Structure 1
Amino acid sequence: MKRHNSTKNTRLLRPWQLVLGILLMFGFTAEANGLPGEQAFSVSGTVTSATDGLPLVGASVLVKGTSTGTITDIDGAYSLEVPGANDTLVFSYVGFVPQEVPVAGRNVIDVVLREDAAQLNEVVVIGYGTQSRKMLTSSIASVDAEEIQDLQITTLEGVMQGRAAGVSIQTANGQPGAPPSIRIRGGSSLQGNNEPLFIIDGVQRSSEDFNPEDVASIEILKDASATAIYGARASNGVVLVTTKSGKTGKANFNASYRSTWTSLQNRLDLLGSRDYIQIERIGLTRSFLNENSAFGVGSNATGIGNPPDGNFTLRVLEPGESVPAGYESMTDPVTGQELIFQDVDWQDVAYRSTRVDNVHFSVDGGRDRLNYYLGSSYLSQEGIAKGTSYNRFSLQSNVDFQLSDKLNIGTNVNFTRSLSDEPFNSSVLFGRAARLAPTTRRFNEDGTVAPGSSSGLPNPEWYASTFLNSSARNKLNLGASLQYNIFENLVATGRLNYFIDQNTREAFVLANQLTSARDASVNFLESRLLQFEGTLKYFRSFGDHNLSLLVGGSNLNTDYFTFSASGQGGPTNSIRTLNASPVINGASSFKSQDKLIGYFGRVSYDFAQRYLLSATMRRDGSSRFGSDNQIGYFPSVSAGWRISEEGFFFIPGISDLKLRASWGQTANNDFGSPSDLNRFFLSQGVVDATLTYNGQAAARATQMPNPNLGWETTTQTNFGIDLALFNNRVLVIADYYRKVTSDLLFSNPLPNTSGFGSITQNIGKVEFKGTELSISTDNIASGDFRWTTDFNISFTSNEVLELPDNGRDRNRIGGYERSDGTGIGGVAEGEPLRQIVGWQFVNVYSTTAEAEADGQFVEFANDRTGSNGIDYRNRVGGDVKWEDVNGDKIINNDDLQVLGYANPDIFGGFGNTFSYKGLELYLFLDMGLGHHIYNSNRARMNSNSQGNINGTEDLLRAWNEEGDVTDVPRFIFFDYGNARNHDVVGFGSTTGDGGLADRASSLYTEKGDYLAVRTVRLSYTLPRNLVQKWGLNSIKAYLLGQNLHYFTGYRGYNPEVGALDLGLYPLFRSISVGLNVGF
């Protein structure tokens, strides 16, 4: 719960509490004093918070059964004349559990109130306003300032991960500064953007690089009744972020420092050199590349043997030669010769333990008519992969000034600068370098770092210091707001924002042992957003009738500019800019503009806070769509019934019960990067202006325009229940939703006579549905000890209802022979999204006789006969038997089947907080269940599919000779794309089989289920009376662990990687120590 400190660091008085206090002290007490009865009895004392011991300002103290009462002063103190010494006092404060205390003849009664878990988010932010949670008819999840502060996480997505039902956040990439993937209720689109809309202090912007320590609250709007007021941008849900503001009182200074140590979260089970040589040498005898196992035969056999000064250390020990220092020896399993080699663990070379420093400072306060908040932070993070880092400086300023009783103005300034060193090519560094053959040379004879196998299979240490890639990003938001109270119940607001985002990325390749080209490139992307919004709000109460009206308008203009250029041949490594490149390979620039104009309204009504009704309507016009379909209307309606407020309702233990229902429509107009012409200008068509004709500049249309192109529209229905039990000690929120997105954007083939290959049309439909459950409990609150629990779980499913009728069987997108596309993440009518399509593993043939008797034949688009005369389409002992779906003994596209789906069916989180006086222990777990991952990284290693890369320990169990019984097929050196056993994934290369591009098998389609120990925090807040002696307000020290462990059966680095694991930047584990000081 957010705590704002006054001049004595005490709870601030809210306006309604002040009015109530005046009435209590001057009105009701006078009435009580006139009553006959027992002799008056004087009671005094203090009311404080059980959480931090701070006085509660404005807490209510009432004599039970009467109107006699008072409120606490700025020190939390009260004094009250009660009718009799045997009366009972009722102490209450908003957000805390009320407490009844018998007077029992005492003159001094000090009371400690504990926070009410069900009321911590009493007021939540909604679209263009706020609302009491008990009056909500929408599905909204919240994270408050105190929780954000305690989590000590550096990204907004990390703050939300696992803490809100219906919100799936997966961290696929461990690159410092890289944002996770967010899906609210599964997203909404197949080809468009599925990330939610972020509104930070009223401005549409991305969440990247934003500092969570400046955030006061996060609200996640999930159903259409909550999001429809944002219309064309809201199909994927909306995240509302509100930054901190100052409150009247003396200046409060807060400083924090956190030091973090990070390390590789998980390691792959790779082979050491001795096992690698044993397996690779035998595997080479089975390869189509070579007809014998001689060293150095074939261009792809260099990792098996090469000259002493080459890129590999494995070679034959010369007669009379001793084993050199730093080398090991073994007998060649094929020739019997003595081999020498080095053993390098490339995971140790590629990854490191690093340090992260995070400093934050803020000041807030106010006096007279001015309130202010100023926060700044600096984050310095080294990545666990060598050569990677992330640095961020941020500044947040919020100032509110009340010019008069009617007029208030505010300013909002946010500036962020981030610098990042990133991999030049992630697939090379993480997909290849970290899995180099362990016999690859790390250092040259002169001690310098060796390049590795090649620039495509490099030494990661060499690659990180030679192939440079950095980015600098500046974000600036300038905002001004105005609020004018026209009448008592009529308020006008206006907001003007200017937001600019500039991102410059520069890359340079130093001259090195493999190339002297000195390639240089620069890419610049700039977006400028000018946003104006105005609203008019009216609210009125008529007895038990409460009415609130909102109307408003919104105008967003965004300008985009991109520039890119590349060159090579510079004279020195010291000058890394294009002006030093005599050869410019290319340069291009691009401009575009995007406009969105909307009008919206909302009406909310309740009767006696019992029957609740709300409706919204938004009209949006977007320049992204066809001239005939630029306008869209997005309505919503919701209702609630607080049954617990009915006179007939009484069930012991139920404190509050509300039923909710909603329906609404939203849209998705974000279906491509503005720099991607083919998607951004789908409605207007695309023109290629880089052509020449008869020596003159020329242009031609490359895509047919579609003036009828329109919105992807999502219709959503939601039913929910809010339940509070046992005096609000248990809070349960449950929701069921169903949403259908229609008019999906798809590319539909056109006849050749049209002059175009395809046209983009609105011709698809997909359904998402699910159930969400959140439970918060205050388990124990006894004396100084408290234990609370937060739990949420979501069950979700989806189905493709319609796809373009393009003549392919079952309208499949992503299958084989049925359509274009890939087997990873494909879709088909009547099936869930993000399929993994491939061949089903049955078993490994124990003998060649068994394989020949079975008669299975693998059909290739291209014949594959090795130089040793073996036709690899026939099966032999040690090969895989695939499931023959149609029984024709031919394994081909007709035998492909769905092996799994990439989206989790179940996800959620579970947190416990234990506190005793100033000591607090917080444990948080989150999970994802029911999804599958194609572990292409492992498949490539076990097939040596790119030559000279390591394998995993699976190969120690591989079939080796006739009669072996195992589930790991025989190893064949360089099995790339030949669909033999391990690697069924080819990428259309000359050595692979282009007809089998990007296809999986069940051998490496693995369950991605995980339970993550996400956060463990132990903190201690020093007693206030102690720190005050030092002139401070508070001191809190903590020890924090994050991403500590995954309980999972997945054999890759990260079970959150997504559908296809090609070897991304691995996740890191972190241990932090920190100190927060208030003064």
Structure 2
Amino acid sequence: MLKGTDRGASTNVSGEFELIIPDDQLASAVLAFSFIGYETQEIALGVNSVLNVKMAASVNQLDQVVVVGYSAKKARFLSSSVTTISNDKLRDVTSNELPNLLQGKAPGVVVSSSSGDPTSPATVVIRGSGSISAGTAPLYVVDGNIDGSYNPVDVESVTVLKDVAATGLYGSRASNGVIIVNTKMGAPGKTTISFNNSVGFANATTGKFRLMNSRELFDFQKTFYDRDPSVTNINTNWWDEAFRTAMVNNHNVSVSGGTGKTTFYVSGNFYKEQGTIVQNDKTGYSLRTNLQSQLTKRLSAKVLFNGQYIRDNYFTSNALGDAYINLPFDPAYDAEGKPTDGRSFPNWLGRDRENFLHSIQYNHAGANSLRITNDINLDFDLTDKITLSSYNRVNFGNGSSQSYNDRRTKQGGANGGELRNATSYNHRLLTSNRIRYAEEWGSHNLTLLGVAEAETAYGKATATSGKGLPPGRDVMSVATEPLEAPTGSYDQVGFRKYLGQADYSFDNRYFLVGSFVNEFSSLFGKNNSTANFYQLGASWVLSNELFLKNNPFVTFAKLRVSHGTVGNAAIPNFASLGLYTISQTASYANLPGAAPSQKGNPDLTWEKNRSTNVGIDVSLWNRVDVTVDVYTKQADDLLYQKPLAATTGYSYVWINAGSLRNKGVEFSIVSQNLKGEFEWETNFNMAFNRNKILSLSDGAEFFNPGDRLPLAAGHDMGDYHLPIWAGVNPDNGDPQWEKVVKAADGTITKELTNTYNQAQTAVSRQYAGKSATPNFTGGITNTLRYKGITLSAFLNFVSGNWIYHDARAYFDNDGLYESYNSMVLVNGWSRWTQPGDIATHPKPIVGGNKDSNQSSSRYLEDGSYLRLRNIRLGYDIPTTLMNKIGFAGANIFVSADNLVTWTRFSGTDPEVSLSREGGNFGFAGYRYPISKKLMFGLNFSL
């Protein structure tokens, strides 16, 4: 910018720019160079045509413009709790999924993945799970509109909205938080062409986990099972057969530029990640075009297009299971080097008689999807103070999936080959029309916002299956019989919203914001299809008061408070309606018949989340930024799919049932430890959350009694309730559990029992005092820069959660499955062999030792971990050198993901799902572990 004026320009990647300065201002002209995340540098122009400007990184992000709700503000003026992550902070970890890139980088945002499968997305929970049956995923907003598609490589920044002052404008779908994605836009100036390329390798993590080889397994089993020693002549490592060194490729080219009135950004991306399990991979292609133009003095427009095509190849489930349980005594290949067929191979010892290497020659499963998003956004300045906006989006999506089991395999043999095909089509229409009025008088500023928004989503799906297919013919036309009756569906869901907001500030010291939202959704019952929500926020910038102004120690300080309500509408379509199923079982005399399947509830309504947040933002010496938030959020009218007795004629009904509360503390510290030629920056965040179910409908003590994780008033949703393991009887090696005895006078005592049925009664099942919910989560990043060299290290951590390691019931089973492999006991574990032994594992017995592997607290393990999530070393090749060969700049780097994990967990990987959504909360079965990745990259621009 020409200092003291509104005249400015943007440089290209080479630093070139064009700025017209009147002749009478040349002699005194001062240019101010600025960029988000860097300190402004002022340079006197003089007679120079080349200016050498070094931008110094600034930890102070207070002047960064943050997109929040339906507007944008400088961070220093917000009254809400938000976290913004820029593109360069996102792109260290290698992934094509945004949740994986967010892990550990924002306080209160818990990202977890229960699988290393590249086709399996991670889950995101913001400030604790706020529902017991409805969805807990945050709402995504892309480029100003709800929903939308994007590729992470095109993301400019991500803003996480956590409290109601920020999320409230999104009304009925904001109770789980909002993630705003802003994609890249072009800038005026010389056209820039950028190429970003990386290629690398991935291997499955194994942690403390190791399976026995032939000699180890023989030595273990001979204590309780008679095997011929000749079985050790074969030593198959099924784990190594199932897992491989996988390739990862990511290649992107983008073109951006424009004139003073019109700019463009065009990007194409190719991403392919092989899974570390054979036959598994994900391939993605994307194309984005962002155009923006100042059409007239008052009218501006954006036309945004994004297309994504994804092809997934799924691993067959038996490949993972066989890697864990197949016996090393059985051969993977015959004498000719061909995969053996366990069904016909003589003397196959494994119980399942399965060799996945034989099956994957013929079987396959996968899916293809295409998603297109088109936006047309218009802003019209009716007057200098009134702006009319119309943001419009259409989403198109279609997909197909196929699962084929050849008749030559175990999976397809029973039906002479099986084929399942499914297709889906959906589109979503959204229009958001807004009016904004801005007034400024003296030290007062007032902005009024009104929005009318409507959205309709349509979907269709079909599925067919057949059997009796010739070998190798995976098309439905050759099936001789249907395998299952064909299915199909059509649905339509609508939302409508009106909102108003008033935003007032005085003298850049006091800020007030209030909003009201009225929303309709066709998801809910006809008696409660609309709901109202409100939000209030206030902040006080203390550093603008006389008692702190120009303070060299506290350079910025602000207090924030917010309170209000939002809703949750993440339930299945038609949840409020009474439904019937038309099926063959309900037909009569060859005429179609229908039977009730879902009981209707015309009073079903939104979950309502009431939230309060108090926060403080402090900047010290203009080098250290500290943010602390304390919050509580209570969800009432919880959406719950209540099971019904068979005598009612229905399976379940959706109701509003009870309330729960999340409360917690979160903080972040961003520190510029060293400045100058050598720079060192630290970014640390940490969050504590406590969850408690306050009440359940009809005074119920439990929902889902008998589950390991039932829902109970007064308890965390992650509290384990199950038989309590009491260790091993040192006299005889029997397993022991606690048996609760309730006397006639109500007195309760505990005894030890070696009979599992006595320990798993309703009376004996107890809370273990352990939860699947973490005590705290967070991450820390250190970044060092010196003369074009950048070294960064990022660690994330989870502490206090307990994992139910269910897979141990099969490969750590005390002799129940002698035809399965076993795990090598980790350090500190021992097995009973003689009277007097104080052991962790009972005496192994053929057929199992008194149900010792049944569900109990025995398999609860500490899931805490600290992980070196990424380490990256990069070098910016000097521009003087690159300019000589026609390049504007180049960067080379090497990056490694998930190099080391410190944990006590005995399995391959302690990262499990930390959300009830999906049904795997705190659960570790046959884990597909995450990958260690080593990537090499070259980025350059023209």
The question of a shared fold, defined as TM-score above 0.5 by the shorter chain, is answered with yes
Do structure 1's residue 930 and structure 2's residue 800 form an aligned pair? yes
Deviates more, 1:930-939 or 1:621-630: 930-939
The alpha-carbon deviation at position 538 of structure 1 amounts to 1.4
Query: What displacement does 1:21 show?
Result: 8.4
Match of 1:260 among 200, 210, 213: 200
2:780 corresponds to:
910
Instruction: Write the distance in 2 (CA, Å) between the matches of 1:395 and 1:429.
Output: 34
Distance (whole Å) between structure 2 residues aligned to residue 1013 and residue 754 of structure 1: 54
Equivalent pair of 2:92/2:895 in contact (CA under 8 Å) = no
Among 953, 958, 961, which residue is 2:824 paired with?
953
Q: Deviations over 1:923-977 (max 9, x none)?
A: 00000001000111123211155552111112993112334332221123343xx
Q: How does 1:969-1048 map to 2 (within 5 A)?
A: 969-975=842-848, 980-981=851-852, 983-984=853-854, 999-1001=855-857, 1003-1048=858-903
Mark the CA change 1:503 to 1:965 in structure 2 (over 3 Å): closer, same or farther: same
Secondary structure of the 2:105 match is: coil
- Residue 747 (structure 1) shift: 4.2
Taking structure 1 as reference, are residues 652 and 120 closer, same or farther at Cα in structure 2, changes over 3 Å only? closer
Candidates 593, 615, 627, aligned match of 1:720:
615
Paired with 1:406 and 1:974, the residues of 2 have a C-alpha distance of 81
Match of 2:659 among 745, 757, 765: 765
1:689 is aligned to 2:589: no
Structure 1 or 2, whichever has the larger Rg, is 1
Does structure 1 retain, via aligned residues, the 8 Å contact 2:174–2:566?
yes
Superposed counterparts of 1:702-717, under 5 Å: 702-717=597-612
Q: Which residue matches 2:469?
A: 570
User: Where does residue 72 of structure 1 map in the other structure?
Assistant: 31
Contact kept, 8 Å, 1:433 with 1:457, in 2: the verdict is no
Q: Does 1:123 align with 2:65?
A: yes
Structure 1 counterpart SS, 2:224: helix
* Contact 1:17-1:58 at 8 Å conserved across structures: no
Residue 200 of structure 2 contacts residue 935 of structure 2 at CA under 8 Å; is this kept in 1?
A: yes
State how 1:9-408 maps to structure 2 within 5 Å: 13=1, 18-19=5-6, 70-72=29-31, 95-97=37-39, 112-119=54-61, 122-149=64-91, 151=93, 153-205=95-147, 210-266=150-206, 268-284=209-225, 293=226, 316=228, 330=229, 340-408=232-300
Structure 1 residue aligned with 2:327: 437
* Distance (Å, rounded) in 1 between the aligned partners of 2:250 and 2:329: 40
Change (3 A) 1:99 1:493: closer
* TM superposition shift of 1:804: 2.8
Which residue identity is paired with 1:1034? Answer: G
Shift of residue 581, structure 1, vs aligned partner: 0.5
The secondary structure found in structure 2 opposite 1:1026 is helix
Q: How does 1:873-884 map to 2 (within 5 A)?
A: 877-884=732-739
Distance 1:812 1:604, change over 3 A: same
Question: Could you tell me how far 1:764 is from its partner in structure 2?
Answer: 1.5
Q: Which amino acid aligns with 1:447?
A: G
Secondary structure in structure 2 of the residue aligned to 1:953: coil
Greater Cα offset, 880-889 or 398-407? 880-889
* Conserved 8 A contact 1:431-1:1062: no
Q: SS where residue 667 of structure 1 aligns? A: strand
CA RMSD of aligned residues (A): 2.9
Aligned-partner residue type, residue 155 of structure 1: E
1:1061 aligns with 2:924: yes
Describe the SS at the equivalent of 2:170: helix
Report the residue type matching 2:477 in the other structure.
N
Structure 1 contact 21–71 (Cα < 8 Å) conserved: no
Unaligned runs of 5+ in 1: 1-12, 23-46, 61-67, 77-91, 103-107, 285-292, 294-303, 305-315, 317-329, 331-337, 673-679, 817-821, 848-876, 985-998
Contact residue 232 and residue 329 of structure 2 kept, 8 A: no
Question: Which residue does the alignment assign to 1:505?
Answer: 401
2:492 matches 1:593 = yes
In 1, Cα distance between equivalents of 2:511 and 2:147? 32
* Native 8 Å contact 2:734 2:850 kept in 1: no
Q: 2:453 matched to 1:554?
A: yes
Cα shift at 1:149: 4.5
SS in 2 for 1:118: coil
Could you say which residue in structure 1 is the equivalent of 2:517?
618
Residue 214 of structure 2 aligns to which amino acid in structure 1?
Answer: S
Q: CA deviation at 1:159?
A: 1.9
CA shift at 1:93, angstroms?
7.5
Distance 1:98 1:241, change over 3 A: closer
Per the TM alignment, residue 59 of structure 1 is displaced from its structure 2 partner at its CA by: 15
Local SS of the residue matching 1:72: strand
Deviation of 1:806 after TM superposition, in Å, equals: 6.7
Aligned to 2:746: none
Counterpart CA distance in 1 for 2:142 and 2:514 is 24
CA drift at 1:662: 0.1
Matches of 1:559 and 1:418 in 2, distance apart? 21
- Secondary structure class of the residue paired with 2:882: helix
Does residue 670 in structure 1 map to residue 589 in structure 2? no
SS in 1 for 2:129: coil
**C-alpha distance in structure 2 between counterparts of 1:496 and 1:353, whole Å:** 45
1 CA distance for matches of 2:366 and 2:491?
A: 26
Which residue matches 1:833?
A: 717
* RCO comparison, higher one (Cα < 8 Å, 6+): 2
Residue 545 (structure 1) shift = 0.3
2:535 alignment partner in structure 1: 636
Whole-angstrom distance in 1 between the partners of 2:189 and 2:539: 39
Aligned to 1:583: 481
Deviation (angstroms), 1:216? 0.8
Task: Tell me the CA shift for residue 980 of structure 1.
Answer: 2.5
Aligned counterparts of 2:539 and 2:692: Cα–Cα separation in 1:
29
Contact 1:1012 1:1043 in 2 (8 A): yes
Normalised by the size of structure 2, how large is the TM-score?
0.90
How far apart, in 1, do the equivalents of 2:872 and 2:400 lie? 37
Shift of the 805–971 alpha-carbon distance from structure 1 to 2, 3 Å rule, reads farther
Measured in 2, the distance between the counterparts of 1:119 and 1:887 equals 58
CA offsets per residue over residues 635-658 of structure 1, 9 Å max, x none?
Answer: 100000001111133554000100
1:447 pairs with one of 327, 337, 353: 337
Query: Please, which of 929, 933, 938 is the counterpart of residue 1075 of structure 1?
Result: 938
CA 222–93 in structure 1, closer or farther in 2 if over 3 Å, else same: closer
Residue 895 of structure 1 pairs with residue 758 of structure 2: no
Partners in 2 of 1:474 and 1:172 — Cα distance? 25
Post-superposition Cα deviations, 1:205-235, rounded to whole Å, max 9, x if no partner, equal 377xx42111111100101111110001111
Q: Any conservation in 2 of the 1:655–1:725 contact (CA below 8 Å)?
A: yes
How far, CA to CA, are the matches of 2:735 and 2:645 in structure 1?
42
- Does 2:377 match 1:481? yes
Compared with structure 1, are the counterparts of its residues 594 and 244 closer, same or farther at alpha carbon in structure 2 (3 Å cutoff)?
same
Deviates more, 1:798-807 or 1:787-796: 798-807
Quick one: distance in 2 between partners of 1:1068 and 1:604?
A: 47
User: Do the aligned residues in 1 keep the contact of 2:290 with 2:303 (CA within 8 Å)?
Assistant: yes
Query: Larger deviation: 109-118 or 351-360?
Result: 109-118
CA contact (8 A) 2:451 2:500 kept: yes
Instruction: Name the SS for the 2:360 alignment partner.
Output: helix
* Deviations, residues 518-560 of structure 1 (Å, cap 9, x unaligned): 1100122222111111111111211100111111111110111
Quick check: 1:431–1:1064 contact (8 Å CA) kept in 2? no
How many correspondences in the alignment? 894
How far off is 1:266 after superposition? 1.7
- What code does the residue aligned with 1:951 have? S
Q: 8 Å contact 1:247–1:364 — kept in the other structure?
A: yes
Letter in 2 for 1:1071: L
Match of 1:35 in 2: none
After superposition, residues 766-805 of structure 1 pair within 5 angstroms as: 766-782=660-676, 784-805=677-698
Contact 1:566 1:584 in 2 (8 A): yes
The DSSP-based 3-state class of the residue aligned with 1:119 is coil
Deviation at 1:253, TM superposition (A): 0.4
Deviations 1:454-498 (A, max 9, x none): 895632323433331011011111111111111112111112211
Quote the Cα distance in structure 1 between the aligned partners of 2:463 and 2:646.
34
Distance 1:1076 1:420 in 2: 27
